[in-house]
Amino acid sequence: MTRRLGSGALVIATHNPGKLKEIAALLEPYGVKCISAGSLGLPEPAETGTTFAQNALLKARAAAEASGLAALADDSGLSVAALDGRPGVYTADWAERQWFEGPPGRDWYMAMGKVEGMLAEKGANVDRAAAFHCVLALAWPDGEHAIYEGRCDGSLTWPPRGTMGFGYDPVFVPVGSTLTFAEISPEQKHAISHRADAFARLVAEQFG
């Protein structure tokens, strides 16, 4: 049987306020107090894995060892069918500005434009199917861990639409909807997103 998390403090291995807010909202009903790795001053480890699971576990273990608390990390990304699954684990890297593109940081509009440009090169009839993936890694300071995987299928649209969400949300339309992730409320997104799918698996095992 997988080790139970229980209620109490949990370090969320992220420095992204948007991601922390989403995860905290999903865990709030179970009495879990979420603390970000950023607020604890923990460094962000290099994501050297070649899969979402490897990167998520790497981040969770680093946060658990540094804080002495259980830690949860996710590695998520966008895979585009016509681009052979790219950007995949390099989803965030595609948003990193180069020295000639402006100040250091992530430019998500630039990243969305890069994906769209690559699709446009393939012609008007290109397959625009895409999927968001999320892998959650739960780790304890003693090294024990658990992995949960989630997915949300959809298609890409252009130009970007909506002001909610983050990352590639403004160009992703989930299956069964005509609205992008950035056009629906956080509550609606939480119900159908890749992260929600992964969390449903975590909750079933940890709190079921």
**Is residue 99 predicted with pLDDT exceeding 60?**
no
Q: What is the mean pLDDT of residues 51-78?
A: 94
C-beta of residue 145 within 8 angstroms of C-beta of residue 61: yes
Residue 7: per-residue pLDDT: 63
- In the chain, the percentage of residues whose pLDDT exceeds 90 is 59
Question: Which residue in 124, 197, 185, 118 sits closest to 154, CA to CA?
Answer: 197
**Is residue 101 predicted with pLDDT exceeding 70?**
no
**Is residue 17 predicted with pLDDT exceeding 90?**
no
Active site residues: 75
Q: What is the mean pLDDT of residues 85-111?
A: 81
Q: 8-206 is classed in which CATH architecture?
A: Alpha-Beta Complex (3.90)
**Is residue 1 predicted with pLDDT exceeding 70?**
no
Other CB atoms within 10 A of residue 6 CB:
12
What's the pLDDT tens digit per position in 109-154? 899 999 999 999 998 899 999 999 999 999 999 999 999 999 999 9
Averaged pLDDT score across all residues of the chain = 89
Residue 183 phi, psi dihedral angles, 5° rounding: -105, -5
Question: Which residue in 153, 171, 3, 157 sits closest to 81, CA to CA?
Answer: 153
**pTM higher than 0.75:** yes
C-beta of residue 3 within 8 angstroms of C-beta of residue 146: yes
Other CB atoms within 10 A of residue 144 CB:
12
Residue 6: per-residue pLDDT: 65
